[in-house]
Amino acid sequence: MALEWIPRAPKDKLLDFTIGDESLLGVEAPCTMYEKKPLLDPNGNPVEGLYVAWVTLNNPRAFNSYTLDMLKATAVAFDEASNDKSVVAVVFTGSGDRALCTGGNVPEYAEYFIGRPFDCHAYMTVYWHVFDAVWNSPKPFIRRVNGLSIGGGEEISGCCDLSIASDLANLGQVGPLHGSVAMGGAVQFKSVCMTIEDAFWNAISCELWSAYKMYRKNYIHKVVPVLKQDDKFIRNPQVITDKYVEDGDIVYGEFKTVERGYSEEEIKEAQELVRSLPRDMSLLDKACMDMAWTFANLYPGCVAQSLAMIRTQKRIAYDRDKSHIIWWWAQNALPGGEFDMGMTTFHTRKTTGKDNIDILKYRRMVAEGRPMDQELFDELMPKPKE
């Protein structure tokens, strides 16, 4: 079957990978927003002349996935905050209360980057600049996890120094499920911060973890509740938070499931409670500001040197791989490869009714000796609904 129905960018289209000036920043989605908020003391009083820079991925309809322009703007915003001496700390977050970020923009990946390996390299040079802007900065970067932190969103925000999360946030990787690899920071950072076995599982299995579990696994500094019931904050009812050990097994932060002894009715009630209650991000905002307040009361030069030395662990882990992994991604993004299969099927899911190929069938075809060619791609790709 011909594949003309698959959306692709025009062959003569060219994207601009130049990191420009402040004109890249905006307020209308999709964009990256930059705002200087007055530093607040623990009582909520503004401190004259000192600020916290908030950099916000603003694309809520796509769960704050970042386009190339948003990526470029994020690099600009990080640089601006780093060079502004009135800024004491940077908060990196997403707009709304549903997601920090779910990764790169799938339509852009599927339509433009498939078959353009050198543009894949150019894209990653912009991505690298975002990381370098953090690692070369004298300011602490605080990751405000206001919701889903998935795939590339979990990676690009993982370069921050400290993380504070809403307890409704779910975090994890989805690359191997959609033809990609968590090489934008997850496989590097998590092998530094977690045990090596936790890093293997979290970065590869595509199993999402609650914010509480990520906290227990040493990847988050603090978790705060955001649901309000009768004017009181309550913990996420979908997650086990009232006990740490059960039958000798550590369970704190695991999702409530039938396998863990919860009835389907209890699980449904918890889901409905989350949907029905208002979300109040005030504790999350205060926790970020209180962290900035702590750093603001320390000698800035000493803070900067301390940050630089500790960041070295993540930076070394990332730098040792970055020069060659990009070419693997570029080759994987050639037409008919796994990246094409994964991104294109997810992008066209409304047309086909399926969000992925039959991966077990793909494995069987490879085991039978089938070459990675157009015939295999055509056979695996879901077809448009009639």
Read off the tokens for 236: 């996420």
What pairs with residue 234 in β-bridges? Answer: 227
Amino acid letter, residue 52: V
DSSP 173-230: --GGGTT---TTTHHHHHHHHS-HHHHHHHHHS---EEHHHHHHTTS-SEEE--EEET
What pairs with residue 149 in β-bridges? Answer: 101, 171
DSSP 263-310: -HHHHHHHHHHHHHS-B--HHHHHHHHHHHHHHHTS-HHHHHHHHHHH
What is the distance between the alpha carbons of residues 228 and 245, in angstroms, rounded to a whole number? Answer: 27
pLDDT of res. 150: 97
Q: Which one-letter DSSP state was computed for residue 45?
A: P
Give the contacts of 175 (CB within 8 A, at least 6 positions apart). 151, 181, 182, 183, 186, 206
User: Angle CA(249)–CA(253)–CA(256) in degrees, nearest 5?
Assistant: 85
Give the contacts of 337 (CB within 8 A, at least 6 positions apart). 179, 331, 372
What pairs with residue 59 in β-bridges? Answer: none
In angstroms, what is the C-alpha Rg of the chain? 22
Q: Phi and psi (nearest 5°) for 171?
A: -130, 145
pLDDT of res. 116: 93
CATH class for the domain made up of 22-225+281-332: alpha beta
- List, for residues 134-190, the tens digit of each pLDDT value: 999 999 999 999 999 999 999 999 999 999 999 999 999 999 999 999 999 999 999
Neighbouring C-beta atoms of residue 60, cutoff 10 Å: 16
pLDDT of res. 25: 87
pLDDT of res. 7: 87
User: Do the Cβ atoms of 156 and 186 come closer than 8 Å?
Assistant: no
pLDDT of res. 14: 77
Residues of the chain scoring pLDDT < 50: none
C-alpha atoms less than 13 angstroms from C-alpha of 144 in its C-beta half-sphere: 30
pLDDT of res. 18: 64
Q: State the span(s) of the chain assigned CATH 3.90.226.10.
A: 22-225+281-332
- List, for residues 245-280, the tens digit of each pLDDT value: 988 999 999 999 999 999 999 999 999 999 999 999
User: Do the Cβ atoms of 110 and 128 come closer than 8 Å?
Assistant: no
Orientation angle between helical segments 300-332 and 186-193, nearest 10 degrees: 130
Amino acid letter, residue 145: V
